Structure 1
Amino acid sequence: MSGVTTRRLHCTGPRSAAAAMLAAALALGCARAPVRPGADAAGGREAAVNGVVELRLAVPAGAPVRAEVLAPSGARIHVPAFPVPGGWAARFRPREPGRHRWVARSGEGAAAAEVARGEVMAEDRGLAGQVIVSGGTLRTEDGRPFRPLGENRFNVYDPTWSDGLSPADYVARMAADGMNALRVFVFTACGRAGTMPNPGCLEPVLGAFDEAAAARYDAIFAAAEAHGVKVVLSVFAIGFTPGDAWKGWEENPYSAARGGPAAGNTDFFLDPRAREAARARLRYVLARWGASPALLAIDLLNEPEWDGAIPEDHWIPWAEDLARTWRAEDPYGHPVTAGPVGLHWNVEEDERAWWASAACDIVQWHRYGPDVHDVHDLAEALVETTRDTARYGKPVLIGEFGWGGDAKPEHDHTHVGIWAATFAGAGVLSHSAPPFTEDSDEPMTPARARHFRTLAAFLRRAEARGPLAPAPEPAVRRAPGLRALALGGERAAAVWLLAPRPGYGGRVKGARLTLAGIAPGRWRVTWVEDVSGEVIAVEERDASGPLPLDVPPFARHVAALVERIE
């Protein structure tokens, strides 16, 4: 695994005579345990709380291997192992300080025999935990709000698509640009039989997982853990469209053309044998990356409307079934989502049955198309669809949006998209790719990335006094067509303004807002140029009801931070 240190864990052989005989027969070695950065040995302690520990077990391939981990509190988890060269590996994440005891067993049910045991001492070094769903929002395990802001850089493991950067360097750059979320594809179209597979092809042959490809995903997760970036991992992406040169069904190992059980692309979702094979892939993903605190959500399927025109009544029951498997076997409770295009593009029905399902934890949709190339149309679509889909009481994630025609160097389409989505209450990931398709592909250049950096810095200050949530739109006077969006909390509020469509790009002067929901007291209002982050005006006002705000002259858009003076 890329970027790990290796420390020997305290471990002993099996205790029962029968298990001892099995261990001898298997030439068992109590293997070294690679530990991710942040979980290295120090002062006799072997790991950190929220660091990923890997147990290497020299057990030959054959019967499945699982590890049981007992935490100091008495909490017990079971984690599946996955095959690696020379044996098996099991990964787990200590979630509390103290001594964690583990036992590894090989085999099924009552026939499972102990093959190794040991212990890990974990200390709390302040490492961040995973993201959870709480009260319809995303939060870190320590209770802080988490607003996904980042990229759909789906094949970040391929440097030819990622500015020549390694996954570690690309993720580091994202973090430096204020991004905290990355969506990545596990490719299902692996290339024609006998050719070099796509670098994101995890399963080139049905049921056989490629160690070199898995190591690329390992590198992504290790970098994400190191830089505080969370990963949405799309487990079945690209490979359901018959006859397509890039996402061809014929290149999918689940297809009959590649020796799989499914005659056609829709059979993948209906055939029981294909379903069990898909479950096996999901379990491998859980075993290998489920322990990572960087795993934001497991994304079961990418854009079935666009890739294969899969009907909703095919993929939704399939997704519900796999979500039940994930939820039953994931000891960490990572959220589950799926990535359909959204309500503007459907095959037979729409995604509402999935979003309403208990199997779906995060409502996700994507937005592209000529009807949202204009920034006012984009803002309207993102805001209204976010509000519409928030009815399910779940976090909303815009998993992809973008346009290759985004004017340079302003990148106003990107800017308006991420600010409008954020103030509507959604997490938002902008699609980034070399310019192959103008409808969607736009590289993440420094000129484009600065918009994320400025928004992230604004949000950090805005939520320094507590979480903010979407608030009623402020009333606007003296500027017809001006759109105002607000986030509100007990001790702070934030406002973002989009200039009217007529005359867009010119100066807007003399506008006034009325901000509701402000508690009586004295408030500081800081107006910020929302591209550069430069402060353009500061004033203090007393509130005894709705707070009037005089907007300084601006072009295109501007933001304000309203903070209570204690």
Structure 2
Amino acid sequence: MRNPLSKARAAEPSGQLSASVLPWVQVAPGAPYFVTDQGQSWTPIGQNDAVTWPDFAGLFRHRDLAAVDRHLAWLAAQGVTCLRFMLEYCQTENRYLERPAGHFQPNMVRLWDNLFALCAKHGLRLLLTPYDTFWMWRRWAHHPYNQGRGGPCRRRSQWLLCPATRQAIKNRLSFATERWGGSGVLFAWDLWNEIHPAHAGNDTAVFAEFIHDIGTHLRREEVRLHGRSHPQTVSLFGPVLGQHPGVSEVIFRHPQLDFASTHFYDKATIDNPRDTVTPAVCTGRLVREALTHLDSKRPFFDSEHGPIHLFKDRKRTLPEPFDDEYFRHMQWAHLASGGAGGGMRWPNRHPHVLTHGMRAAQRSLADFTALINWPEFRRRNLNAEIVLSTSAVAGFACGDKAQAVVWLLRQDRRDRQRLVPKNAPAVAVQVRVPGLGPGHYHVTCWDTREGQAVGQFTATPDAAGWLQLPVPPFVTDIALAVTRI
């Protein structure tokens, strides 16, 4: 196979990006969250995006860079910090990064140059994964990596096994980090999107070796080029864990990876939601399960979720008020259960963009995160350990000896649209949170819909470390930030 880097360099447009002024992001020393290399707390708040979707379609051939610029400015104003992108989204025939294999298309390189520059301008970061494995699988007959198209691989079931394909993956990552890896815009690498047994002859045995090989190669390249490396993860379609439990050792504990990420899809709740409460309860359960597999200092977050069955298979788009609440509930369940940020939605809407209500929910979450000292928060999940005075409310919580996050969601009522009713009588709840050390604690009560504090009080734990919180009456839901004074 010819050297793709030399051919790509020959085709490069001028104006290669220099290192961004944005500081790099890394895992916080000793805590399962993220900080910049300047020691500032950083939380991934965002969603999945693609260069063919409406918000970013203007990047292609410089059609409307001003529109993309305005959109990114607006995202930053809504508290968004991170966008998950695939370097190649191949639902169509005109967005291949390489065509033929080994030749990096100048127009796509320029597209990514522009996106990195615009993200740097607005302080946004990217979680990058090199391939869109979903459409690559479905449209394999057209893909440049197909041997029938002059590529390296005979069958899609050999992506992780074929030595020539393995080299092509390394070449793509080498090119990408040389071109854009010196920038703080790059948050982290998702080395392989939704790694799956079908990509390796229906066997999971190669997963660990594949991650070691690809991850080690990329880290060495980054250290050689930049003197340091970006964090790494590998994403997994969540239900695969139920079919292949041994995969958890790789996804959650592989020594090459810096943080863990899975995709929250659940057939009975998240994929085809019938109300806005049960998907949140499922999210809390999935976060708790993930944390049981992890080293306590390794961050975790859901990097893809949404009503995939309803949208993709049933061809339905959720009504906006329902989807906004479904989205908001899932992100708060994710954060309060111990995930980093609120998880990353796959839009699964028509048009394929997030609503303004979802952006308001992101703004609320972003403002709330300022109340917790994340680099010092050694959380454990407390969903099952907190004690509530009423079954009318579902509770989600995480905490350590000095801080806690609690989110309470009304679950006893639904209106005709299967939403939590906004005109129901307020409910009063007493919450007991375990595991807190001696001292006085400041508690901020947060209205997640309005995005503002609605009360503050102090509390002191008993001798056994139980902190009792007299929560002010609320109608739909409320979040609590608990910090030792």
Equivalent runs, 1:284-299 vs 2, <5 Å: 284-299=175-190
Aligned position for 1:510:
428
Aligned position for 1:179:
80
1:498 paired with 2:412, answer: no
Whichever structure has more helix as a proportion of its residues is: 2
Alpha-carbon distance in 1 for matches of 2:156, 2:333: 37
Whichever structure has more strand as a proportion of its residues is: 1
CA contact (8 A) 1:335 1:361 kept: yes
Alpha-carbon distance in 2 for matches of 1:492, 1:63: 50
* Number of positions where the alignment pairs a residue of Structure 1 with one of Structure 2: 444
1:328 paired with 2:232, answer: no
Alpha-carbon distance in 2 for matches of 1:220, 1:63: 23
Equivalent residue of 2:371, what SS?
A: helix
Identify which of 70, 83, 92 aligns with 2:9. 83
Identify which of 139, 149, 164 aligns with 1:258. 149
Give the letter aligned to residue 382 of structure 1.
Answer: T
Alpha-carbon distance in 1 for matches of 2:393, 2:399: 20
Alpha-carbon distance in 2 for matches of 1:457, 1:417: 17
Give the letter aligned to residue 226 of structure 1.
Answer: K
1:448 paired with 2:353, answer: no
1:147 positional shift: 2.3
* Residue 446 to residue 198, structure 1, CA distance change in 2 (3 Å): same
Alpha-carbon distance in 1 for matches of 2:403, 2:37: 23
1:385 positional shift: 2.6
Equivalent residue of 1:327, what SS?
A: helix
Aligned position for 1:422:
335
Aligned position for 2:393:
482
For the pair shown, which has the larger CA radius of gyration, 1 or 2?
1
Alpha-carbon distance in 2 for matches of 1:190, 1:406: 23
Identify which of 123, 148, 152 aligns with 1:228. 123
Identify which of 40, 60, 68 aligns with 1:144. 40
1:395 paired with 2:296, answer: no
Give the letter aligned to residue 235 of structure 1.
Answer: P
Alpha-carbon distance in 1 for matches of 2:445, 2:258: 36
Equivalent residue of 1:260, what SS?
A: coil
Alpha-carbon distance in 2 for matches of 1:524, 1:279: 50
Alpha-carbon distance in 2 for matches of 1:453, 1:91: 30
Equivalent residue of 1:462, what SS?
A: coil
Alpha-carbon distance in 2 for matches of 1:310, 1:468: 39
1:222 positional shift: 1.8
Normalising by the residue count of structure 1, what TM-score does the alignment of the two structures yield? Answer: 0.69
1:542 positional shift: 5.0
Alpha-carbon distance in 2 for matches of 1:412, 1:88: 46
Equivalent residue of 2:472, what SS?
A: coil
Alpha-carbon distance in 2 for matches of 1:465, 1:264: 45
Identify which of 23, 26, 45 aligns with 1:132. 26
1:531 positional shift: 0.9
* Residue 502 to residue 188, structure 1, CA distance change in 2 (3 Å): closer
Aligned position for 1:98:
none
1:90 positional shift: 7.4
CA contact (8 A) 2:158 2:201 kept: no
1:280 paired with 2:171, answer: yes
**Greater mean alpha carbon deviation, residues 527-536 or residues 481-490:** 481-490
Give the letter aligned to residue 486 of structure 1.
Answer: A
1:155 positional shift: 2.8
Give the letter aligned to residue 152 of structure 1.
Answer: N
**Which whole-Å deviations, capped at 9, do the CAs of 1:8-61 have from their partners, x for residues lacking one?**
xxxxxxxxxxxxxxxxxxxxxxxxxxxxxxxxxxxxxxxxxxxxxxxxxxxxxx
Higher RCO (CA < 8 A, seq sep 6+)? 2
1:231 positional shift: 0.8
1:408 paired with 2:320, answer: yes
* Residue 325 to residue 501, structure 1, CA distance change in 2 (3 Å): farther
Aligned position for 1:51:
none
CA contact (8 A) 1:157 1:166 kept: no
Alpha-carbon distance in 2 for matches of 1:63, 1:258: 16
Aligned position for 1:50:
none
Alpha-carbon distance in 2 for matches of 1:87, 1:178: 33
Query: Unmatched 5+ residue regions in structure 1?
Result: 1-61, 66-80, 95-126, 192-196
Give the letter aligned to residue 209 of structure 1.
Answer: F
Equivalent residue of 1:329, what SS?
A: helix
1:349 positional shift: 6.3
**Greater mean alpha carbon deviation, residues 466-475 or residues 219-228:** 466-475
Aligned position for 1:358:
255
* Residue 416 to residue 446, structure 1, CA distance change in 2 (3 Å): same
Query: Unmatched 5+ residue regions in structure 2?
Result: 312-316, 415-419
Alpha-carbon distance in 2 for matches of 1:162, 1:425: 37
1:551 positional shift: 2.0
**Which whole-Å deviations, capped at 9, do the CAs of 1:212-254 have from their partners, x for residues lacking one?**
1112112222222222222111102146666x3xxx0112111
Equivalent residue of 1:409, what SS?
A: helix
Q: State the identity as a percent.
A: 22
Aligned position for 2:370:
460
Identify which of 53, 56, 69 aligns with 1:168. 69
1:459 positional shift: 1.0
**Greater mean alpha carbon deviation, residues 175-184 or residues 152-161:** 152-161
1:469 positional shift: 3.1
1:559 paired with 2:456, answer: no
CA contact (8 A) 1:241 1:249 kept: yes
Give the letter aligned to residue 321 of structure 2.
Answer: P
* Residue 209 to residue 466, structure 1, CA distance change in 2 (3 Å): same
1:210 positional shift: 1.0
**Greater mean alpha carbon deviation, residues 541-550 or residues 267-276:** 541-550
Alpha-carbon distance in 2 for matches of 1:380, 1:309: 33
Aligned position for 2:345:
431
CA contact (8 A) 1:206 1:254 kept: yes
CA contact (8 A) 1:254 1:260 kept: yes
1:467 positional shift: 4.4
CA contact (8 A) 2:261 2:302 kept: yes
CA contact (8 A) 1:525 1:563 kept: yes
CA contact (8 A) 2:445 2:478 kept: yes
1:205 positional shift: 0.9
Alpha-carbon distance in 1 for matches of 2:248, 2:109: 33
- What is the RMSD computed on CA atoms of the aligned residues? 3.6
Equivalent residue of 2:159, what SS?
A: helix
Normalising by the residue count of structure 2, what TM-score does the alignment of the two structures yield? Answer: 0.79
